[in-house]
Amino acid sequence: MTAPVPQALVEACRRVLDEVGYCVVPDALDCEALESVRRALDRAAAQDDSDGTALRYGPDGANQRLWALLNRGDEFIRLALHPLALALVRSGLGPDIQLTNISANITGPGGDREIGRLHTDQGFLPQPWPFQLATNVAFFLDDFTEENGATLVVPGSHKVLDVPDHGLAPDTPARITGKAGSMAVWDGRLHHATGLNRTADQRRRGIFATYNLPFLRTQENWCRSLDPRLLDRFPGLAALTGFEEWQTLGSVNGPKQSGQFLT
């Protein structure tokens, strides 16, 4: 995950993102990184079950969600700082970004179709949306297939500039499919939903990191929930989680160069 980011790949993905609204990059995680994140997620999910705090939904709790993963293992921080993911996000949002949240979605067998309601990741903002202000990155910990609930998307819907009606996804939408270790990126305005897991025994595990521009509030309030000891251990994490001042926003006792803004 420390190899130089191929600029040609970033540019090619950017063209697809602009036109279709999403793209998939195979082999974003090598085998070692993939297994490490899988183990970390399984530990965290089992811990939530043991503690009685697991957030489950769908019939018989088939699906499980885990929030604020930065505190749950270094493996998740490395995903949030993934160089290719950040390069692709910045190719659309610009150099200054922040992590609004990083969570996991474990889609188990039996999750019914009520799960698949269309939404966007930019839906908290007033419409219409002439500008992209958020980008989602998904890391596939298992194969994402049509059978096991791969994310449903409406190609080109990022150009609609408005939210969907939150109804159930159409019967024949596109799906974001790919092998385990792949990474998907989509525009925050893209209409999408969790798919139905029709398998008898397969889980579909994914890590979802959402980024937005620094003048917006993050979904997760990192300044309250993040273990501050992590900031010194991971360069770049402080800026990504809103601990550093950005163009006078988030300052402490005034901006660092307060004289520049006197009127």
Judged on CB neighbours under 10 Å (0-12, 13-18, 19+), 36 is: middle
Hey, which bits of the chain come out as E strands? 22-25, 55-57, 63-66, 98-107, 134-140, 152-153, 174-175, 183-187, 192-193, 204-212
Is residue 54 within 8 A of residue 176, CB to CB? The reply is no
Closest CA to 160 of 122, 194, 210, 112: 122
pTM of this prediction?
A: 0.92
The domains of the chain, with CATH numbers, are 7-261 (2.60.120.620)
- Cα–Cα dist 14/93, whole Å: 11
Please give the pLDDT value at position 113: 47
| Strand pairing class (134-140; 183-187) | antiparallel
- Cα–Cα dist 139/183, whole Å: 5
Please give the pLDDT value at position 62: 83
Between the alpha carbon of residue 192 and those of residues 49, 115, 122, 148, 169, the distances in Å are 28, 11, 11, 16, 8
Closest CA to 24 of 84, 81, 83, 91: 84
Look up residue 245 and give its two tokens. 């001042």
DSSP state of 148: B
- pLDDT tens, N- to C-terminus, the chain (263 residues): 467 899 999 999 999 999 999 999 999 999 999 999 999 999 999 999 999 999 998 777 888 999 999 999 999 999 999 999 999 999 999 999 999 999 999 998 875 545 667 889 888 888 877 889 999 999 999 999 999 989 999 999 999 877 887 666 665 578 999 999 999 999 999 999 888 888 989 999 999 999 999 999 999 999 999 999 999 999 999 999 999 999 888 888 788 765 554 55
Please give the pLDDT value at position 125: 83
